[in-house]
Chains A and B, each alone.
Chain A
C-alpha cells in the first residue's frame, strides 16, 4: 500500500548498479533507505488512522450519546446505531488507538523509519548489517498491522480491553478481537526483535574508520540504547502474549484466578471450562516489564533527533556530550527496574512499592540531565529558527511538562488519587504527542532534503507548527485539570454520570475542538510533504551546513550510500570552531595533510 505512494528518488547519474524491478525496488527492497521510507510512510498512515479513531472518541466524550453528525451512518448498526456510539465500540476505539499509536505508529516511525534511514548514513555504512533481515522486519510489521486492522471486521469487533489488555477482562471480552490483537502483537514483537539485532550489530560493526563510540552522533547512541530495550524487554511480552493466547484458544488459566464469576456465571474453577489457579497480576508484571522500557523506546529516538537539530541550529557543539551519552545508558538500564510503578494499586505491598518508588525517582535524574544539557546548549548560540528547530525547541518544554507531571504518579500516595484518571492520559501524552511526535516532525523536516534531494516549504512548515503547538496544549493541558479533579479514564460517556466530574466536564468540549483543530493543522504538513516532492532538487548534499556523516552522501543517497568511503576525523558537532573560515567543520572532512579517502570498490 503505502510504499507505492512515495515518489521514487530518481537515479543519480553516477549510480553503479543494475536496475531493479519495481517489486525489488519498492516492495521487497533490502536497501535500508527504502525500508526506512516504507516504515516511515506506513507509520505515518497508522498515526493518521489512530488519530481518526481518537477524533471519533472525542465526539462521544464531548457530546455523550448524541448522534455523530454527517458520518454516523458509516459505522453500521452494530457499532453506532442511529449514529450513537455503543460503549463496546468506544472501548474498541480506545484499545486500538493506544495499540496503533504505540506499536504501529510512533515506534515504527521513530525506530524503523528514522533509525533505518539515518543510522547507517550517520555511521558511514553502505547499508544495515543484515539487509534481508531488515526486509523481513518490515514485512512482519506490515502483517501485524494488517492483522490489527482486520480485527475491526471480525465478529463483535476489535479488542476492547485497552492497549494494556489486562486479564481477566481481556479474556472474558469477545474472543476474536482479543485473539487477533494477540496474534498481531506476536508479529510486531518479532519484527522489532529482528530490527533490534540488526541495529546493534550495525552500530557495533559498520562504523566508518575513525568513528569511535564517543564520536557517534547522539541520535546513533539513542538508537543503540533503544535497540537494546527492544531486544531485551519485548521477549517477556512475547511470553505473556503466548500465555494469553493459550488462555484464549486452549482454555488454560495462566491469568484466570479460581472461582471467577462473570455476569453471574462461573468462568473458572470446578465445573467451568477452565481450571483456574492463574494470576492476573502475572500478566501485569510481564506486560509492564516491556511497556515501561517501551516508554523509553518512544522517547529516546526523539531525544536523539532533537539533539542533532539543536546542535545544528545553535551552531555550537552540544553542551555535555558525554553526560548525555551516560544518561542515555543509565536510562536504558534503569528502565528495566521501574515497571511496577504502574501497579501500585494492585496491592503488591509496601516493600515492593518502596523499591519501585525509589528506582522511579532515580530514573528521573538522567532524564533531567539530558533535558538540561539540551537547554544549556541553547545558551549563547546564534539560533537559526528553521522549521525543524521550531519543533525541536517546542519539544523541550513539552517533554519537560510530560516528565514533571510523571513524578506524582511515581509516588504511591499521590498515585492512589491520580491512578487511572485523565491526569495519567495528560501526562503520558505530553511525553509522546507534543514530545516525541514533535521530535519526529522535526526529524522529517530535517532529513527530508537528504531523503529526496528537495526542500520543504518553510511557510507551510510554520503553518503546521504554530497551530499544532497551540492545539496540542489545548488537548492535553485540560486533561491534567480533569484528572486532578478525579475524573476517571476509559469511561464511554467521559464521566458524565459521576458527580465529582461535573465541574470539569465542560473541558471535554475544549479538548475535542482542539483535537479536531489539530487535525486541520496537519493539512499544511500533508500538502508540504507531497507538493515538495515536485519541487526542484536544489537541496544539495548539505543544505543545513551540518557536521555529521550523513551529509557527506549525495541527496538522495544512491544504493551503497557514499561516493567515497567516508571516515570520521573529529567529534560530531564541531560548529563555530575558532580559526575556521566556515562556522561548521564536518566530521567527515579530512584533516590537513590526511590521505585522500579511497574510492568505493565497485
Chain B
C-alpha cells in the first residue's frame, strides 16, 4: 500500500498528543467497561431479586481464587516490566518479561481449569442455580479475555518481535497497547474475586 500513508499511526498528533492506537484501545476498553458493567448489573439485579441467590459462594474455592489473584497481579507487574524493557531498548529483558507474562496467564488458566472441573465433578453446572449461572458466565467471559490477551502477548513475544528491528517505536506502542488491555483484564478479576467468592449470603429472605 504505497498511496498516501495514514498519519499518526506511530507518532502522536500534535494537538491531541496521542497516536491512533492509543485512542483506539481506550475506546475499546470503554466499551469493555460497558460490557462488564452490564454483566455486573445483571449480577446485582439477580442477587437482589432471587431468594435462593448467594447460596453458592460457599461452594467456590477461595484459596484457588486467591492464588489466581496473585498470579494475575504478578503478570500485570511483568507486563509493565516488558514494556519498560522496550523503552530501555533491552530486547533480552523484554523477551524474559513478556514470556513470564504469557506463562502467568497460562498458569491462571490452568488453575481455572481445575476449578471448573472440580465443580463439574461435584455435579455443579451453570444450570444448577442463578449464582452458578452468573459464576460460570462471568468467569468464562473473563477467561476468554485472558486467553485473547495471551494470544496477543504471545504474538509480540515470539513472531511479532521481529518488528523490533524494523520499527522499534511502533513495536513499543503495540506492547503498551496490549499491556493496557492486559491490565484491564486483571482489573476485571479484581472485581470478580470479591463479588463472586468473598461476599457472604447477604440477608435472610422472608
Contacts and interface: CB of A to CB of B under 8 A. Distances in A.
Contacts of B51: 277
Interface of B: 1-9, 13, 16, 18-20, 23-24, 27-28, 30-32, 34-39, 41-42, 45-46, 49-53, 125-130, 133-134, 136-137, 141
Nearest to A558: B3
B51 to A, nearest CB: 8
A240 B38 CA distance: 8
Given A126-B5, A129-B24, A246-B133, 15 more contacts: A200-B23, A201-B23, A205-B16, A231-B34, A233-B34, A235-B34, A235-B35, A253-B127, A254-B42, A277-B50, A286-B42, A559-B1, A560-B4, A600-B4, A601-B5
A602 interface: yes
Contacts of A273: 127
A205 B8 contact: yes
Nearest to B129: A275
A236 interface: yes
B183 to A, nearest CB: 18
Interface string A3-21: 0000000000000111000
A314 interface: no
Contact of A18 (B2, B37, B52, B130): B2
B46 A282 contact: yes
Nearest to B39: A239
8 contacts: A30-B1, A127-B6, A206-B20, A232-B30, A240-B42, A250-B126, A275-B130, A279-B50
B34 A232 contact: yes
B45 A282 contact: yes
Most buried by A among B6, B50, B137: B6
Contacts of B129: 275, 277
Nearest to A286: B38
Sort A-B residue pairs by CB-CB distance and give the 3 closest, nearest first.
A560-B3, A236-B38, A252-B133
A59 to B, nearest CB: 40
A246 B126 contact: yes
B3 A235 contact: no
Interface in A103-146: 125-131, 133
A420 interface: no
A289 interface: yes
Contacts of A552: none
Contacts of A289: 38
A201 B7 CA distance: 12
B127 A275 contact: yes
Contacts of A278: 46, 50, 130, 133
B37 A236 contact: yes
A277 B3 contact: no
A16 B2 contact: yes
Contacts of A160: none
A158 B41 CA distance: 30
Contacts of B5: 126, 601
Interface string A537-565: 00000000000000000000011111001
Contacts of B2: 16-18, 602
B20 A129 contact: yes
A253 B126 CA distance: 9
A473 B127 CA distance: 49
Interface in A247-287: 250-254, 273-275, 277-279, 282, 285-286
A254 B133 contact: yes
A128 to B, nearest CB: 8
B6 A277 contact: no
B127 A242 contact: no
Contacts of A250: 125-127, 133, 136
Contacts of A234: 31
A470 B174 CA distance: 55
Contacts of B20: 129-130, 201, 205-206
A319 interface: no
Nearest to B2: A17
A193 interface: yes
A277 B16 contact: no
Given A252-B137, A277-B130, A239 B46 contact: no
Contacts of A253: 127, 130, 133
Given A236-B37, A246-B137, A252-B133, A275 B23 contact: no
Nearest to B25: A197
B12 to A, nearest CB: 9
A129 B134 CA distance: 37
A127 B137 CA distance: 38
